[in-house]
């Protein structure tokens, strides 16, 4: 029996809950089936623990925007919490430590956006290496996966640590590999079993791999922190880590800012800024290569707007409605973080008339907004018309929430949007991306995880004549 007025859902069995009713490899289709049966707010039991799923624009807005604070918590008893030692910002519960760290990140990222060495310069700096890499493949086919993952990692590494790594650097490739592996493990079958059955948690099962990966990454960030402490000049920050160390000096021992926090905090931001942007870029180029007419129309608009200009700037987006529409459509179809990051309720509350007690696990299914019927002209196909009005102007429907919404909304949205725009525009301006003749039909179905990943593919690179 569910508690009185709790969201409905399928009957559960003792101990296992509803877990046998889900495909643990990729439950997204099951979640959609359950939404059709039980409505936009329903519940499932993962073992003995209830989880409330939020679907569709109306329910999502009520929870994340109207009742933002009431839904701003994070669960603290899951696999992901154990792997990250309950530090950092992404999984921090709603409270003063999370607030201070979120505010600090937003402020510091904003400050790096200004001035001489601006975020745009940093991104263009990295794009030069991407161009070099692509130039080596002209006339040939290449798999863009490592390149985009490393480019995204480098952009955020520059901000955090003031440094970048070559794309064949073994060390950073190992870190990125840990990120991509953990993004699959974090909500994969073993994590689901770990969360549902606490008695198996200390057993040597495959979920141990995720702990090992965090350990490897922690070594990496701790080493960089030591280097920073040894070389910094207080009050003259070179990067995010220096700013944090300055802030620690300023605050003294207030219990919120500490070195132990810092090493997981930078890891959080490094991870969040790598596996998201890169998978979105990979989705984008998969579609550019297989929808050549859309690629060409973007190139015409880019040529016209950038006519004679050396580099694209983020402001140019206002004169590129079609390119803007395409990039947003790429994000919509990529559905990069399909179940957002899980929330909890911070107090007893109500949603769409149902009663939800404090501390309930909340799963915002963002997928159901990005393809919701009635919200999009073409919910189930790749079509930039989804973001264009009858006059060909760019419009952003309300259901476009790949970064979530409200209090816990992605704090890297500004950076991510700038990266996507500058990288896509610069590369489409210079190169033509072609689906290889012998590659067969493209498979657009992504691999499930905390982030959705396009299946590995290769594309042929040509240099464009008109630039």
Residue positions in the annotated binding site for heme?
410
Binding residues: 410
> At its nearest, how many Å lie between ligand HEM and the CB of residue 348?
21
- CA dihedral sign of residues 80, 86, 90, 94: positive
> At its nearest, how many Å lie between ligand HEM and the CB of residue 74?
7
| Nearer to ligand HEM among residue 402 and residue 449 (C-beta) | 402
| Nearer to ligand HEM among residue 306 and residue 452 (C-beta) | 452
In the range 90-149, which residues lie near ligand HEM by CB under 6 A? 90, 102
3-state helix, strand and coil shares in percent for the chain, rounded to the nearest 5:
50, 10, 40
| Nearer to ligand HEM among residue 190 and residue 342 (C-beta) | 342
| Nearer to ligand HEM among residue 95 and residue 255 (C-beta) | 95
Contacts with ligand HEM, 420-439, as mask; x by CB under 6 A:
--------------------
Contacts with ligand HEM, 393-412, as mask; x by CB under 6 A:
---------xxx---xxxxx
Q: Which residues pair with 350 in a beta bridge?
A: 355
CB 418 within 8 A of CB 411: no
Q: Which of 416, 425, 428, 450 binds ligand HEM (CB under 6 A)?
A: 416
| Nearer to ligand HEM among residue 18 and residue 83 (C-beta) | 83
Residue 154 DSSP class: H
Tell me how many residues contact ligand HEM (CB under 6 A).
Answer: 25
> At its nearest, how many Å lie between ligand HEM and the CB of residue 231?
24
> At its nearest, how many Å lie between ligand HEM and the CB of residue 89?
5
Chain position carrying tokens 């390149």: 147
For residues 82-107, one letter each, b for 16 or more C-beta atoms within 10 angstroms of the residue's C-beta and e for the rest, the string is bbbeebbbbbbebeebbebbbebbee
> At its nearest, how many Å lie between ligand HEM and the CB of residue 466?
30
| Nearer to ligand HEM among residue 19 and residue 423 (C-beta) | 423
Shortest-Cβ-distance residue relative to ligand HEM: 412
Minimal CA–CA distance to 408: which of 69, 100, 101?
Answer: 69
Q: Which own/partner contact pairs does 90-95 have at CB distance under 8 Å and 24+ positions apart?
A: 90/268, 90/272, 90/341, 91/268, 91/341, 93/344, 94/69, 94/346, 94/407
Helix (H, G, I), strand (E, B) or coil at 394: strand
| Nearer to ligand HEM among residue 423 and residue 461 (C-beta) | 423
In the range 259-318, which residues lie near ligand HEM by CB under 6 A? 268-269, 272-273, 276-277, 280
318: number of Cβ within 10 Å? 10
> At its nearest, how many Å lie between ligand HEM and the CB of residue 61?
13
> At its nearest, how many Å lie between ligand HEM and the CB of residue 83?
16
| Nearer to ligand HEM among residue 19 and residue 428 (C-beta) | 428
Chain position carrying tokens 């905090």: 265
CB 96 within 8 A of CB 256: yes
> At its nearest, how many Å lie between ligand HEM and the CB of residue 204?
31
What is the arrangement of strands in the sheet containing 343-344, beginning at the earlier edge strand?
41-46, 49-54, 361-364, 343-344
- Measuring CA to CA, how many Å separate 429 from each of 68, 144, 425, 463? 41, 17, 6, 9
In the range 71-90, which residues lie near ligand HEM by CB under 6 A? 89-90
386 binds ligand HEM (CB under 6 A): no
Q: How many residues does the chain have?
A: 467
Contacts with ligand HEM, 313-342, as mask; x by CB under 6 A:
-----------------------xx--xx-
> At its nearest, how many Å lie between ligand HEM and the CB of residue 258?
18
| Nearer to ligand HEM among residue 164 and residue 460 (C-beta) | 164
Question: What is d(CA 42, CA 323) in angstroms, rounded to the nearest whole number?
Answer: 37
| Packing angle, helices 240-251 and 259-290, rounded to 10 | 150
Q: Where along the sequence are the contacts to ligand HEM (CB under 6 A)?
A: 89-90, 102, 156, 268-269, 272-273, 276-277, 280, 336-337, 340-341, 402-404, 408-412, 415-416
């Amino acid at each position: 029996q569910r508690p009185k007025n709790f969201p409905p859902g399928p009957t559960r069995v003792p101990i296992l809950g509803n877990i046998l009713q889900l495909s643990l490899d990729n439950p997204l289709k099951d979640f959609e089936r359950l939404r059709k049966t039980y409505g936009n707010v329903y519940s499932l039991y993962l073992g003995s623990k209830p989880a409330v799923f939020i679907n569709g624009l109306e329910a999502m807005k009520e929870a994340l925007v109207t009742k933002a604070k009431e839904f701003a918590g994070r669960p603290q008893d899951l696999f992901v919490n154990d792997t990250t030692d309950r530090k950092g910002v992404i999984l921090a519960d709603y409270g003063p430590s999370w607030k201070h760290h979120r505010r600090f990140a937003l402020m510091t990222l904003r400050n790096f956006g200004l001035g001489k060495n601006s975020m745009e310069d940093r991104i263009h700096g990295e794009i030069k290496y991407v161009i070099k890499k692509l130039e080596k493949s002209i006339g040939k086919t290449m798999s863009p996966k490592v390149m985009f993952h490393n480019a995204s990692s480098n952009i955020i590494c520059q901000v955090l640590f003031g440094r970048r790594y070559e794309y064949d650097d073994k060390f950073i490739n190992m870190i990125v590999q840990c990120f991509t592996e953990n993004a699959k493990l974090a909500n994969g079958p073993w994590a689901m079993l770990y969360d549902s059955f606490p008695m198996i948690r200390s057993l040597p099962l495959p979920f141990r791999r995720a702990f090992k990966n965090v350990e490897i990454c922690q070594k990496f960030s701790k080493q960089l922190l030591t280097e920073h402490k040894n070389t910094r000049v207080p009050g003259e920050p070179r990067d995010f880590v220096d700013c944090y160390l300055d802030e620690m000096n300023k605050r003294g021992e207030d219990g919120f800012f500490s070195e132990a926090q810092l090493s997981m905090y930078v890891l959080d931001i490094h991870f969040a800024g790598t596996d998201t942007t890169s998978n979105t870029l990979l989705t984008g180029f998969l579609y550019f290569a297989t929808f050549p007419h859309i690629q060409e129309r973007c190139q015409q608009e880019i040529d016209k707007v950038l006519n004679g200009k050396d580099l694209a700037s983020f402001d140019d987006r206002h004169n590129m409605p079609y390119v803007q529409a395409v990039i947003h459509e790429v994000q919509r179809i990529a559905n990069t973080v399909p179940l957002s990051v899980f929330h909890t309720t911070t107090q007893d509350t109500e949603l769409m008339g149902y009663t939800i007690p404090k501390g309930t696990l909340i799963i915002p299914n963002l997928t159901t907004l990005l393809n919701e019927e009635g919200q999009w002209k073409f919910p189930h196909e790749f079509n930039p018309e989804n973001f264009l009005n009858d006059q060909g102007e760019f419009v952003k429907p309300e259901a476009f929430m790949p970064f979530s919404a409200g209090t816990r909304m992605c704090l890297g949205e500004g950076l991510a949007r700038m990266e996507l725009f500058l990288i896509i525009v610069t590369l489409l301006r210079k190169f033509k991306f072609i689906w290889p003749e012998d590659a067969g039909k493209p498979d657009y179905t992504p691999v499930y995880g905390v982030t959705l990943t396009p299946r590995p593919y290769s594309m042929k690179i040509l240099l464009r004549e008109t630039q």
